Each structure stands twice: as structure tokens, then as C-alpha cells.
Structure 1
Amino acid sequence: MGRKVAWGVLSTAKIGTAKVIPAMQQGAATVIAAIASRDLASAQAAATQLGIPKAYGSYEELLADPAIEAIYNPLPNHLHVPWTLKALAAGKHVLCEKPIGLTAEEAGALIAARDASGKHVAEAFMVRFHPQWRRAREIVRSGEIGEVRAIQTAFSYFNADPNNVRNQADIGGGGLLDIGCYAVATARYIFGAEPERAAALVDFDPAFGTDRLTSGLLAFPGGRQVTFTCSTQLVSYQRVQIFGTKGRLEVEIPFNAPPGYGCSIGIDSGKDHFGSGIRRETVEACDQYTLQGDAFSRIILGDEAQEFGIEDAIANMRALDALARSGKSGGFERV
């Protein structure tokens, strides 16, 4: 067994303690060596619960630990760029939760910081490491469903808790940054291109000021189009439909794929409207957070090249910025 990369986690955020940390602890190239909180007792409780050797009562202490090579940053959206910059300055590699920042302009500072530090930094879009998305892209590129011209995505959940960070507009809450970003990232992944124009219809929560319902349209080169709806106040649901000239591909659980579950992809020839032309492929059961963590660890170890760098994250933010502008202007915006 080869060497494992020693990771530290900034904060006891639920996404980390409930999903990402336990998954990364199963990795072949990853070890969670420390966790930090602004409250030492909170860090110690999380460390005890998860079997993490070190607990720190401040983020600065964690960044000062010379044994920590990489940082996982699951802080609220407005703290993604500031603490990623501090981690890079401390000589750590950084895997930062999505969205990489509040705007592309803010996130742009990470390029110079990465170059100055010589460390790797990436946005944590775990879905791109799941074999169902790798297989979906493979099918698209094979030409089996013809020329792919349209993608439709739906992603929603219901959360009306005023104390939840997703419902706090001043720190980057709202549906577009929280889950609409997945619709953009996976479309770019499938098309292998960047959108040129964007339009959005947005409904803002009157109490929170956050976008609780957004429908977006992205125009890609060659007449290809992406439509999506995301919401923080609708029934829990997610699905992606990829339409080609000869067939259709459906990703059943595209984003929150359950760990250990063999996800299903449907490939429809379009024979009829009753589904007799659909064949289903079940991909290997896995935990996409484990795969993401190990992929980044292998990059740090020099065992593989980085596929999705900070430039990719900023490109995703440019599309999100254009959608946000359109939601206010009411017209198409250039990406």
C-alpha cells in the first residue's frame, strides 16, 4: 500500500461530518488527520465521533500544522475563497466545496494564489468522479444517441429554515449557487464546451431574499441548449435528461447518488412512448466522495494529472454569474 495524503478539515459543517469525511476515510490514498472548528469542544466532539486524531479550536491552528498536506474546505459559500487563499498561503493543497466562490471575479484571485504556492486547488464537484457520469459521457461520445443537442435538468428540495446557511442571502445562500451549479457543471462536462449566453427566471423568497426557484437556459455553441429548474422550496427531486437525434439518456439519481448503490442509466432509442425502447445499465456501486478525495490525493502524490483545475471552477462561476444577472435584467446575458 502506498503513502496516504494527510488531510485537515476546516469546520464541523454537516456536509463534511455526515458525508464527505466518512467517505474520504475509506480512501486508499487519503487519511483525515485533523479537524478544526472555531469552538474547540465542537472540533473534539467531531474528532471523537469520526476517529480523527487531532482537533483544533481555530482554523489558523490547523493551517499551521506542518503534518497537514491538504485541506478540505466545506465552509459557507462566502468563506470559500478567503479560507482557500489562507490555506494556499500556508502551503496546503485545497479541495473547496462548490461553488468555488460568490462570483467568478472573486474566485479569480485563486489562480495567482495557486501559482504562487505551487499547490493544487480544485472545486468539489464529486459527481464528475461517479462512474454513472463517466459512463454517460462515454455513451454521448460514442454517438449511440446521435448528435446531442439538448439537456434538461431538475434539482429540488424543501428547506424553509431561516437559520440554514442556504437561506441566508448575504452569505451566498439560494438555489442557484447551492444546486443550480450542478446543472451547469454537468452540462459543461457532457458537452465539453462553455456556454455563450444565459437567461433565467427567478422567484425570490420574500423573507430570506434568496432565489427559491430558478429556471435557467444556457446556449452552447452549435445551437445546443441546456434548460434547468432548481429550487430550495419544492418537493425533493432530481433527474437529468440528455437528448440526441437518435436517442435519449436519463441519469436517474444524478447528484446525490447513494453510497453503495448501483445507480441506473436509461438509454432510450425512442421506439415508442411506452418505454419499450429503453435499456438500463447499472453502474458499479461506489461512494463518489471517496472517489473524489482519492483522485485529489493521487494528484498531490503525482500519480495522476489534474482533470478539473481552478480554471474550470471559474468557468462554471462565469455561467452562474450570467444567470444571476439575467434574473435581475430579464434578458439574455453573455457568459
Structure 2
Amino acid sequence: MTHLRWGVLGASNFARQHMAPAIHAARGAEFSALATSSAAKAEGFRDFAPGLRVHDSYEALLADVQVDAVYIPLPNHLHVAWTIKALEAGKHVLCEKPLGLKAADFEPVIAARDRTGLFCAEAFMITHHPQMRRARDLLKEGALGNLRHVNVTFSYYNDDLGNIRNQPDAGGGALPDIGVYACGAARFITGAEPREISYAGIEFQHGVDTTARIAGDFGDFTYGAIVSTRMAPRQEIVLHGDKGILRLSCPFNAGVFNQAELHLETSASSITVERFPAVNHYVLQVEAFGRSVLEGAEYPCSLEFSQGTQRMIDMIYAAGRA
């Protein structure tokens, strides 16, 4: 096999706007099949992939012998079940985040991955962006000295109760939707795990969390974050050491929210700016997935890593209840 033939399980707007075009554009990948019962939705995908095969059910796509890998953009509460079904159907799986709604949800998925010998990962695309990797490298190289504090902000405004992100039965909420980034980015850049969530002020509306203010302890450094789906759009990561400060101006929606930039300040008169204007981390994610399947290359975001992020979110919910 020289490339992966991909199927997409569901015609979500996100899949149409971002991930399906990324599969279509990625080296070593072919966007070959889509599962949707809506002919109108299928046309949006055929605009850039005219030879696309369209199946009218998820089961039919999983039975397609011309599909090697499946991307799953379904509502959060369906991720575990369909990931396992796809693995058992002999497909490699890239599932949209969050794969599980609690850390224990990852266990049957990991077991299915190991049992089938297939590749499976959560679609945490920021780990493939050079901005995020450069931040990790700068920290390892000692550019900040000793890291003392990490602060993360991620917010946007969405009060549409018809949107699945605001529906409790679909696994909605700010923490499942964007808390994954606030927690996972800190863990990825620092390589550290939280020892304690000392404070979590969580606001709920209509059964889902809409804003969380978080304070935590990673041992060598402290952590603070705000994630919200009821605040004006903002995203930023600040890593504060005893010798320098590193700011990531657009760490999560690079190229959409703004241009991805790193600002390294090591003194009042020394500020270095690195920009990443033309990087598509969705394409990089698909290409990295393909290299792992076809060549056995190391993948930066294993299921175990993603489970660790969900474990941190579980800690935040527990601190909020306390």
C-alpha cells in the first residue's frame, strides 16, 4: 500500500470545511468515500472531490473494502462506539476530539486498537503545527529558564441551543469542546502532568458548562486557564519562566482566527517574533497519520496522550463539584 484511501463518517460542516479538504490535499491520502443520507450535504463534498463515492449509512461505508482509514466527526457522545465499530471493521481511525467524555472511555478504544493491530488516534491537530513544536523545543532548550507559570485562554461566543456544543445529551460544553486544547496544549508543550486542580469555577447553562476558570499545580510550575463559549473570541498561551516569556498568539485556530506567531521575550530590549503564515495543521495531521500507518513513524498524539488530557478535564470537573 502506497497511500491511504479515506472515508468520512458523517457530513458535518467541520468535515466539509476543514478535514475532508485536508484529506483531499494531503500527500499519501485519497478522499474516496463519504457516509451521509443527505444528497444535498454530499454535494458540498463533491465540489472538491467529484469522484467521491457516497454511502447512505455509516455501516455501508465501514463495509467498503476500498476504504482503509476512517475520519469520524460525529457528535461527541458517539465517538467511542463508532471508533470501536470502525476498528472492528478493519479500518484505521482518526476520531475528532474529544474521543471520550471521561478518561475511562478510552480504555475500550485502546483495547480495540491493540486487539485489531490497527492505528487509532484522536484528531488533536495542534500537536502537528510547527508553532506548538517550536514552543516545546524552546522550553526544552532553556530559552525561558525555569518555567514558573502557564496561562491559557480560549473563548468564543455560541449561545445557539440547537448547536450540539450546547446540548448535554450530545456531550456538549466548553470543556469538552475547547478545554481539550487548553489542557492538552499545556501538557504537550511542557511534557508535564497536573498534580492538582486547586480551583475550578464552572458556570452551567441549560445543562452544559459554558465557562470554566481553572487554577492548577504541575509541580514545577502553576497553571491558569479560562475556557468559555460565552465570551468574545480570544486565544493565547503564555509560558512564563524566570529568564523569559513566550507567547503563542494564535495557538488553536491558526490561519482562521489569526496568524500563528511566537513572541519570545528574554529582556526588555530583546523580543524575537516567529511567524507561521502558510501552515495547514489539518493537512499535516493527515500526512502524519499516513506515515504512522504506512511507515510505522512515531505519532505525536497517541491515545494514551489524549486519555491524559481527558484525565485532566475529569480533575477540573471534580474540583468544580468540590
Cα distance in structure 2, aligned partners of 1:264 and 1:317 = 27
Give runs of aligned pairs for residues 100-119 of structure 1, distance below 5 A: 100-119=99-118
How far apart are 1:67 and its partner, in Å? 1.2
Counterpart for residue 35 of structure 1: 34
Residues 202-213 of structure 1 correspond to what in structure 2 (within 5 A)? 202-205=202-205, 208-213=206-211
**Residues 180-191 of structure 1 mapped to structure 2, 5 A cutoff:** 180-191=179-190
- Give the equivalent residue in structure 2 for 1:263: 260
Please list, as runs of the form range in 1=range in 2, the aligned pairs for 1:30-69 lying within 5 A after superposition.
30-37=29-36, 39-42=37-40, 44-51=42-49, 53-69=52-68
Unaligned residue ranges in structure 2 (runs of 5+): none
Number of equivalenced pairs: 320
Which among 285, 288, 301 is matched to residue 292 of structure 1? 285
Counterpart residue identity of residue 134, structure 1? R
Counterpart amino acid of residue 232 in structure 2: V
Alpha carbons 2:144, 2:241 under 8 Å: kept: yes
1:244 equivalent in structure 2: 241
- Among residues 292, 300, 316, which one is paired with 1:307 in the alignment? 300
Shift of 1:281: 1.3
The within-5 A match list for 1:116-265 is: 116-198=115-197, 199-205=199-205, 208-222=206-220, 224-258=221-255, 263-265=260-262
Secondary structure at 1:201 match in 2: strand
**3-state DSSP class of the match of 2:25?**
coil
Q: Could you list the runs of 4 or more consecutive aligned residues of structure 1 that deviate by over 4 angstroms after TM superposition? A: none
* 1:102 Cα deviation from its structure 2 partner: 1.0
Sequence identity, in percent? 38
CA distance in 2, matches of 1:44, 1:279: 46
Provide the rounded CA distance (Å) in 1 between the counterparts of 2:306 and 2:92.
15
Provide the C-alpha distance between the structure 2 equivalents of 1:84 and 1:302, rounded to a whole number of angstroms: 22
Deviates most, 19-28 or 233-242: 19-28
Query: Does the 8 A contact of 1:99 with 1:123 survive in 2?
Result: yes
- TM-score scaled by structure 2? 0.95
| Pairs within 5 Å for 1:67-82 | 67-82=66-81
Give 1:184 deviation, angstroms. Answer: 0.6
Cα deviation for residue 309 of structure 1 reads: 1.4
Q: CA deviation at 1:123?
A: 0.8
Which amino acid in structure 1 is aligned with residue 207 of structure 2? G
> Which secondary structure state, in structure 1, belongs to the residue aligned with residue 113 of structure 2?
helix
Taking the aligned partners of 1:86 and 1:188, their CA distance within structure 2 comes to 29
Q: CA deviation at 1:284?
A: 5.8
The superposition leaves residues 267-318 of structure 1 with CA deviations (integer Å, 9 ceiling, x where unpaired) of 01242xxxx4322112362100000011001111025123321111111111
CA distance in 2, matches of 1:147, 1:136: 14
1:149, distance to aligned residue in structure 2 (A): 2.0
Give the Cα–Cα distance (whole angstroms) in 1 for the partners of residues 162 and 267 of structure 2: 46
Which whole-Å CA distance do the structure 2 matches of 1:187 and 1:91 have between them? Answer: 34
Taking structure 1 as reference, are residues 139 and 163 closer, same or farther at Cα in structure 2, changes over 3 Å only?
A: same
SS at match of 2:66: coil
TM-score (norm 1): 0.91
CA deviations on 1:129-172 (whole Å, 9 max, x unpaired) are: 01111111111111011111211011100011111000001221
The answer to whether the 8 A contact 1:34-1:55 is kept is yes
RMSD: 1.7
Unmatched tracts of structure 1, length 5 or more? 330-335
